[in-house]
Homo-oligomer: A and B are copies of this chain.
Amino acid sequence: MLQLHFAPNTISIAVAIALNEGNVHYEPIQVDFPNAEQTKPAYHKINPKGRVPVLTTPQGRITETGAILDYLCATAVPELMPADAFQAARARELTHYLASTMHVNHAHKMRGHRWADKESSLEDMKAKVPETMAASAAYVETLIDGPFILGDTVTFADCYLFIVTRWLPGDGVDIDAYPRLRAHHDAMEKRHSVKRAYADGMLTT
C-alpha cells in the first residue's frame, strides 16, 4: 500500500487530494512540524531534504510534489492527466511554475534562512512576500480557463494550485482580486477530494 508522509496545510496535501480524487487507499503518516520532526535524523532517513511530501511505493520513495503527482497519474489516477500532450504540457508548466517560483516566493516569508543569514535580510525578504505573491497570482490568473485550469475537467495541476492559493491571504494577498483564482478555489472546495482532506485534518481553516 502507498504511504504518504504529510503535514497539514503544506504542499503535501496536494498529493492527498490527488489520491482522494481517485479514491486510492493509502496510509497517511503525519510529520510533526510543530516539534520540528522534519529536521531530525530519523526523518532525514526518509527524506534527507527534511520536507514533505514523501510517497512510499513498492519500488521505493519519491519526493517532490510534481514528480509524485505525475507518478500517481501514471499508476493510480490516470483521469488527472490530460490525454493531449500539449494540454498535459500546460498543466505541467503550471506545476513547475508553482514549485519553482510561487512556492519559492512564499517560502521567503518563513524560510528566508535557506538563502541568507542576517536578521535584516530575513526581514527584508519577508516584507517583499505580498508583492511577489501578488505578481504570481496575477500571472497564474492568466493561465486558468475556468473553473479548473484546463476548463471543466480537474487535473493534477488543480490539486497543486488549490494548496498554493490557500496561502495567499496569509501572505497578504486578497484572492478576491483574482476572479479566476477565486472561482478555482471555490470549485475545488466543493469536491469530495478536498472535503475529505478537511475531514482527515489535513486542511484546517
Does A97 lie at the interface of the complex (its beta carbon under 8 Å from any beta carbon of B)? yes
List the interface of chain A (C-beta within 8 A of B).
48-49, 57, 59-60, 62-68, 70-71, 74-75, 85-86, 88-90, 92-93, 95-97, 99-101, 103-105, 108, 114-118, 120-121, 124-125, 127-128, 132, 139, 142
Partner of A70, one of B63, B92, B125: B92
Contact call A62/B74, Cβ cutoff below 8 A: no
Chain B positions within 8 Å of A93 at CB level: 62-64, 67
A181 to chain B, nearest CB (A): 16
Integer count of this chain's copies in the complex: 2
Report the separation of the CA atoms of residues A117 and B120 in the bound assembly, to the nearest whole angstrom.
11
Contact call A49/B89, Cβ cutoff below 8 A: no
